[in-house]
Amino acid sequence: MRTETVENYLKTIYNLSADNTAVVANQQLADKLDINPASVTEALRKLHELKYVIYEKSYGTRLTTAGVKMALNIVRRHRIWETYLVKELGFGWDEVHVIAEELEHVKNDKLINKLAEILGNPVFDPHGDPIPDAKGKIQKSNFIKLSEAKSKNNYKVMGVTDHSTAFLKYLDKHHLVIGAGVTIKTIEEYDNSIVLICQKKEVNISPKAAECIIVQTI
Amino acid sequence: MRTETVENYLKTIYNLSADNTAVVANQQLADKLDINPASVTEALRKLHELKYVIYEKSYGTRLTTAGVKMALNIVRRHRIWETYLVKELGFGWDEVHVIAEELEHVKNDKLINKLAEILGNPVFDPHGDPIPDAKGKIQKSNFIKLSEAKSKNNYKVMGVTDHSTAFLKYLDKHHLVIGAGVTIKTIEEYDNSIVLICQKKEVNISPKAAECIIVQTI
DNA sequence: ATTAATTTTTAGGCATACCAAAAATAATAA
DNA sequence: TTATTATTTTTGGTATGCCTAAAAATTAAT
Ligand SMILES: [Mn+2]
Ligand SMILES: [Mn+2]
Ligand SMILES: [Mn+2]
Ligand SMILES: [Mn+2]
């Protein structure tokens, strides 16, 4: 049974479980999927029976090898579609996520591989997230969150972890797009808000926003 | 409620009701959708309540204005995707129908219009079926079925009404692709099978196949 | 006009995927 | 450690969309 529901659960468990080491709580899933916790319990019991997850009652859930495999496949589809929508069809990075949420469920890997080929087998999507290859292999990176950046250093924006239209439009406004170079001017000790320079202009970044911007030292 | 199920019923009723004049029988729907007649009865009662169809018990069903509108929108999506898959992504005309059956349900008209624009707003899909424009307007044509063709006349292949891979591959084998010119050599009086010339080669067409090939006089 | 065949509808069920409310567990604070 | 809060699970329902078997209605054949 590989329903859209199953695909969405596995993808979400994958996304919530950093490095696939951490166990995912029911509550986290309920929040992300916008579903009642009672329904999550039910679903996890079924996914456990299907051998896609190891669900330990009242403790947490992690993916099995089969679960990871399917999750990677869906994540690949999602990110390839996002990239295609931006690069080939002219959509903005702030509008592709919702569309990809639907397109990712179209069951045809030849289609995905064709799109990937046209795109030159990209390794990162428009939000800087790594795209698994057809075999499920993912490019490793040494990116950090902007909230972990040090004063006076120079960085390049590599990605975001919040895919909401509101956040991405806010970034666009301040030219904080992928590839942009930024210099940390000051970090406010009191609340960790950051003042940085981007395109010669000062931008004030809240700690919350800094958590969602991924950068690399340059 | 615009579920995938509703979309599939409306699209199928539209496709079965030539010119939107004929009433569609439950049986026809059951056959096309590969669903039990009892389920069809149920579904039609609901669609009637939703005001998408006028369903007269034990008589037949036709689309309301709202129903036609939605059907045309789905048909447009389906045919635009088929065209895009063939023209831009290199798929064969025999493999795109099943993929489009899924893609047609992705709810984003900006996406469809973008694809249409890239394709130059095509008016016919890879099987010769007319593509409704964004407003639902359809190009009229004076095509006939090959089964209605007359001996000694010349025709151009304009489309097919059977979208199965088997049939399309059979046509490919005899070079009976869209745009191909054919001459009717003889029509067997006994069973109406046709012998035609295509690319200087004789091809024997069964009455069943002739029903599914659409041509235009040249 | 009957009979026979086909189609449609009704009736009773089943699986999936969700929910709200209450009970049980676990985590945190006092 | 006990009390409070938060999370998880159980229980009992709902809506959708499908099914089979049997009854009713329609259509076709004799
Ligand atoms: Mn999804
Ligand atoms: Mn992304
Ligand atoms: Mn469909
Ligand atoms: Mn077509």
Tokens at B168, concatenated: 């399309």
Beta strands in A5-116 (DSSP E): 53-56, 60-63
CATH 1.10.10.10 fits A3-63, yes or no: yes
Low-confidence ranges of chain A (pLDDT < 50): none
Is residue A144 packed enough to be buried (19+ CB in 10 Å), middle (13-18) or exposed (0-12)? Answer: middle
Q: What is d(CA A93, CA A170) in angstroms, rounded to the nearest whole number?
A: 12
- Residue ranges, comma separated, of all CATH 2.30.30.90 domains in chain B are 144-217
- Residue ranges, comma separated, of all CATH 1.10.10.10 domains in chain A are 3-63
Q: Is the CB of A30 under 7 A from strand D?
A: yes
Q: Is the CB of B32 under 7 A from strand D?
A: no
With bands split at pLDDT 50, 70 and 90, how would you rate the model's confidence at B33? Answer: very high
Tokens at A198, concatenated: 């981007």
Give the pTM. 0.95
Note the strand D nucleotides within 7 A of protein beta carbons: 7-12, 16-22, 25-27
* Phi, psi for residue B110 in degrees, rounded to 5: -60, -40
CATH value of A144-217 in 3.40.50.300, 3.30.830.10, 3.90.1150.10, 2.30.30.90: 2.30.30.90
Q: Are B176 and B182 within 8 A, CB to CB?
A: yes
pLDDT of residue A191: 83
Q: Is the CB of B27 under 7 A from strand C?
A: yes
Q: What is d(CA B54, CA B64) in angstroms, rounded to the nearest whole number?
A: 6
Q: What is d(CA B198, CA B182) in angstroms, rounded to the nearest whole number?
A: 5
Residue B48 has pLDDT above 80, yes or no: yes
Residue B19 has pLDDT above 80, yes or no: no
With bands split at pLDDT 50, 70 and 90, how would you rate the model's confidence at B191? Answer: confident
Q: Name residue A129's amino acid.
A: D
Beta strands in B64-165 (DSSP E): 144-145, 154-160
pLDDT of residue A68: 97
Task: Using a CB–CB cutoff of 8 Å, tell me whether A218 touches chain B.
Answer: no
Contacts of B103 in chain A (CB under 8 A): 103, 106
Q: What is d(CA B160, CA A128) in angstroms, rounded to the nearest whole number?
A: 44
CB neighbours (10 Å) of residue A41?
15
Tokens at B126, concatenated: 């890879």
Q: How far is the CA of B47 from the centre of ligand 2 (A)?
A: 37
| Contacting residues for B182 by C-beta, under 8 A, at least 6 apart | B154, B155, B156, B157, B176, B196, B197, B198, B215
Q: In terms of Cα–Cα distance, which of A68, A141, A156, A73 is closest to A107? A: A73
> What average pLDDT does the structure give for chain B?
95
H or E element, residue B125: none
